[in-house]
Structure 1
Amino acid sequence: MFQQLIYDLMIRAYRLAIAIVSPFNGKAGKWISGRRGWREKLRNNLNTEGQKVFWVHAASLGEFEQGRPVIDMMRSEFPQCKIVLTFFSPSGYEIRKGYDKVDLVTYLPLDTRSNARDFLTIVNPSVAIFIKYEFWFNHLAELKARSIPVLLVAGRLHEKQGFFKPWGGFFRKGLSAFEHFFLQDKTSAYLLDELGFKNYTVNGDTRFDRVLAIQEEDRKFPEIEKFSGGHPTIVVGSSWPYDEILIQKYIAGKRPGSFKVIFAPHEIDKKRINEFINRSPLPAIRYSDISNSTGSESVLFIDSIGMLSHLYRYSTVAMIGGGFGAGIHNTLEAAVWSKPLVFGPRYKMFREAVDLVENGSAFPVESQMELDEILDKLLFGDSTIRELAGQMAWRYCESGQGASKQVVQYVSASI
């Protein structure tokens, strides 16, 4: 009871903190405004007409991409059912609020007991699916009280989470709401075993299914293909400022026209893009201005959302951003196009990145010198190394498919 009280106070304190900074922070402002009047919005926009409802929750955009192949497959398998998709973060909601494979996209209400009761009364889901490691304990408690099946999909647990601490009884109780855990790895299964949970399946990462589906879409950008022009090309995906500085230093000594660089930044900041273009050692252009290209540019800065996963097809080498910061971004989006990968040293938290390094398709670097050496080798050296790395990347992606199908089969048997 005491831990429940502390949790509730922390949730309300978080809400207060967001409200205080919201006038000065655009993302916080959207977090507040997006949840305003949520009960009325749900009642007005969700008409179930006696149909079964699937509720899928993702923290943000990355988790949505993991859940997306499951959602797409459920839409195909259960066309008569309603699907409600909720986000915690504005970065997921704002980009995917128009997603047409679900019936409603909305924010998850703040995790209070009264909000959880009202949300579940209005939505009345037949099944609830949480993606990866998003746990909201008042919603979970209410789901359990109503005997609504709850699944964790693409789950990944680690020993630093509260479930596995001596004081974590309240959090462990939350895990009992899950009817089944679909896990990415054996480490997560071992941790659940330690707590006495046996209701799990280690079926891998649903992102494999997603990136393979993206490849099959075969979306092309003729203007970018023209920009690349058959030259050796680096695509720097989800780049952060430090990634961009490293590449800027790399290209400083290169001859214009000998190769191309395409930046797809993690966050589109017009001021930062302008500053980079102005100080670029080689001619540079924004994607929004590409129709005005003279053909002499060596650097292209993408200032549009939703392109990256398809851009890697134009790369000779893919550099994955974030490895010199908090951690790298999605490696599978590049690997599925049979491309060798390069990234910074902070990758070991990501199982797929570790696997790609071990099988020889990815190359971690820790300094400017190491980055320069591996890029020269992959771009201008013996093509056999590059081709073999690309082949191993593709095989790794192909071997990981099928997790989404297992989830949907379980849902089908449960309803």
Structure 2
Amino acid sequence: MTKIVDLIHSLIAMPVLALASRIAAIFNAKAGQRFTGLSGDDWKVPSHIGPTLWVHAASMGEFEQLVPVLQRIRASRPDVYIVGTAYSPSGFVHQRRSGLVDDLHYLPVDTRRNARKTVRSIDADVLLVGRYDLWRNHVLACSAHGTSVMLVNATMPSSGRKGFLRSWTADTYRRCSSITAVTEADAATLHMLTERVVDVLPDTRYDRITDRLHHPLADILALRDESVTTIVLGSSWEPDEDLFLPALRLHGLRLVIVPHEPTEDALQRIERRFPCTRLSVASAGTTGHLVVDSVGKLLSLYAIADAAFVGGGFGAGVHSVAEPAGYGIPLACGPRIDRAADAIALRDLGALHVVTTVEEAMTWITMHVVDIDRRKQDGETAGRYISSRTGSSGIIADRIDAALPKRTTEP
């Protein structure tokens, strides 16, 4: 069955994907960026001295989770040459801006020919992959070439649950030199799939969160006002904002509204309902409510918050609650948390409260935010949840170091 699926994958599925990508490039700007990047890539990795680490991250989010690992590799092994590959244009741009990779390419469609060419060109000692973005032919080519494949932050792929794809997926995963899952449940299912030892370490994104907590933007910190209680509405949508209109009546309460999409329409909608100042014109002396009219500020804004309400819980699902939790502040959100493991865990610990009505939002504010003792208790619980899950990046970096050729000593 594995050989049959290999033939379907290599001779039908991947050529169709390649054709679809070419067509999409005509009509979609992002797809066009990827196609242009692939067309102009001669796959000549510059000659270099030292071992080679190949890092593949399909998207910007997956690369962010690998950043703390790469930072630690850079610090301990400056002799290592790092080659990055990405599948999406946003992931490609993010890797380039990170300054952590020495060479960068788009990963081509997973045909046998492309895979052999890619693996030979990079000639890596180790391939580091996050989550489940293992491409079959590239993994087979690595196995034949002698490149170790390390899968980290691993979760169970959907293909591993399907009957005729299960054995095919299992064979791919068995070719990894090591697999590190993020939960005991994922480790158990991956062990059943591969029939091999699967390690468990917390997600490296917790290290990324705590690393970034120490570097908030200075202009944001200048907006801190100790005389009022500040609640940040992070990644908010209109239903999230509706809950806090009555809160404006509370004396000594300041809202910082960070719309998920800070379009001009969204900003004007908020300004019609809330007396607020746009962040772009605010300064250290600005008082009152704020609305954020740019992106990339949310994590730093949590640094000036006494509490946070995280948006998305009345829509497709709550956005990340891990970042504000890292600052050790009490949290709340809307009801849709079923796909957010951190939100569920923090709710069960009592650090996050799910609210569905204006009355429940007001109760959370008065009992868990305005009440300083309760605020401190909830915040400490949230902070411990994050801090107890850090350290994986250093362990993984040490394992990569051990798998790479040792540094040669100059005579």
TM-score (norm 2): 0.87
For residue 383 of structure 1, what is the aligned residue in structure 2? 372
Paired with 1:17 and 1:261, the residues of 2 have a C-alpha distance of: 46
Report the alpha carbon displacement of residue 207 of structure 1 after superposing the two structures with TM: 1.7
3-state SS of paired residue (1:342): strand
Cα distance, 1:202 vs structure 2: 0.8
1:50-75 residue CA offsets vs partner (Å, 9 max, x unmatched): 42111112222222221111111111
How far did 1:273 drift? 3.7
- Residue 228 of structure 1 and its aligned partner are, at CA, apart by 4.9
Contact 1:67 1:131 in 2 (8 A): yes
By how many angstroms is 1:84 displaced?
Answer: 1.8
Distance 1:248 1:214 in 2: 31
Q: Does the Cα contact within 8 Å between 1:287 and 1:304 map onto a contact in 2?
A: no
* C-alpha distance 172-223 of structure 1, shift in aligned 2 (>3 A): closer
Distance 2:389 2:72 in 1: 17
Letter in 1 for 2:231: I
Q: Report if the CA contact (8 A) 1:84-1:105 is conserved.
A: yes
| Conserved? CA contact 1:99–1:105, under 8 Å | no
How far apart, CA to CA, are the structure 1 residues paired with 2:361 and 2:28?
A: 35
Partner residue, 1:319 = 309
- Cα distance in 2, alignment partners of residues 289 and 253 from structure 1: 24
Correspondence for 1:60: 59
Quickly say closer, same or farther: Cα 1:15–1:312, change in 2 above 3 A.
Answer: farther
**5 Å matches for 1:295-374?**
295=286, 298-305=289-296, 307-367=297-357, 369-374=359-364
**Matched residue SS, 1:97:** helix
- Residue type of the alignment partner of 1:190: A
| Maintained 8 Å contact 1:75/1:102 | no
> Partner residue of 2:384?
395
Distance 2:60 2:13 in 1: 25
Of residues 105-114 and 247-256 in structure 1, the stretch that sits farther from structure 2 once superposed is: 247-256
Cα pair distance change 1:127/1:340, threshold 3 Å: same
In structure 2, the residue matched to 1:135 is 134
1:256/1:126 CA distance change after superposition, 3 Å:
same
Amino acid at match of 1:347: I
Unaligned runs of 5+ in 2: 405-411
Rounded Cα–Cα distance in structure 1 between residues aligned with 2:86 and 2:265: 28
Identity of matched residues, %: 28
1:405 lines up with 2:394 in the alignment? yes
In the other structure, the counterpart of 1:235 is: 232
Query: Does the CA contact (< 8 Å) of 2:221 and 2:303 recur in 1?
Result: no
Q: Secondary structure at the match of 1:98?
A: helix
Letter in 2 for 1:184: V
Note if contact 1:357-1:363 (Cα within 8 Å) is conserved in structure 2: yes
Cα deviation, 1:137-179, whole Å, max 9, x if unaligned, reads: 2211211222211111111226xx2113221222222112211
Residue 212 of structure 2 aligns with which residue? 214
8 A Cα contact 2:84 2:95, kept in partner: no
Q: Which range moves more in the overlay, 363-372 or 110-119?
A: 363-372
Distance 1:83 1:165 in 2: 35
Per the alignment, in what secondary structure is the counterpart of residue 329 of structure 1? coil
**Equivalent pair of 1:238/1:329 in contact (CA under 8 Å):** yes
Q: Using the alignment, how far apart are the partners of 1:362 and 1:150 within structure 2?
A: 38
| CA deviation profile, 1:299-353 (whole Å, cap 9, x unmatched) | 3214133x33222111122222333333333322111110112223332333332
Distance 1:68 1:174 in 2: 25
Distance in 1, Cα, partners of 2:285 & 2:302: 23
Deviates more, 1:111-120 or 1:343-352: 343-352
SS of the residue corresponding to residue 135 of structure 1 reads coil
**Contact 2:216-2:299 at 8 Å conserved across structures:** no
**2:280 equivalent in structure 1:** 288
User: Is residue 282–residue 297 contact of structure 1 (8 Å, CA) maintained in 2?
Assistant: no
Residue aligning to 1:270: 263
- Residue number in structure 1 paired with 2:408: none
Counterpart of 2:6 in structure 1 is 4
Does the Cα contact within 8 Å between 1:361 and 1:392 map onto a contact in 2? Answer: yes
Matched, 1:261 2:258: no
Q: Residues of 2 paired with 1:361 and 1:189: CA distance? A: 27
Rounded Cα–Cα distance in structure 1 between residues aligned with 2:317 and 2:37: 29
Distance 1:26 1:251, change over 3 A: farther
Q: Aligned-residue CA RMSD in angstroms?
A: 2.7
The yes-or-no answer on 1:203 pairing with 2:201 is yes
Residue of structure 2 equivalent to 1:164: 161
CA distance in 2, matches of 1:65, 1:387: 30
* Letter of the 1:284 counterpart: C
> Aligned letter for 1:133?
Y
Q: For the structure 1 residues 327 and 223, does the alpha-carbon distance in structure 2 shift closer, same or farther, using more than 3 Å as the test?
A: closer
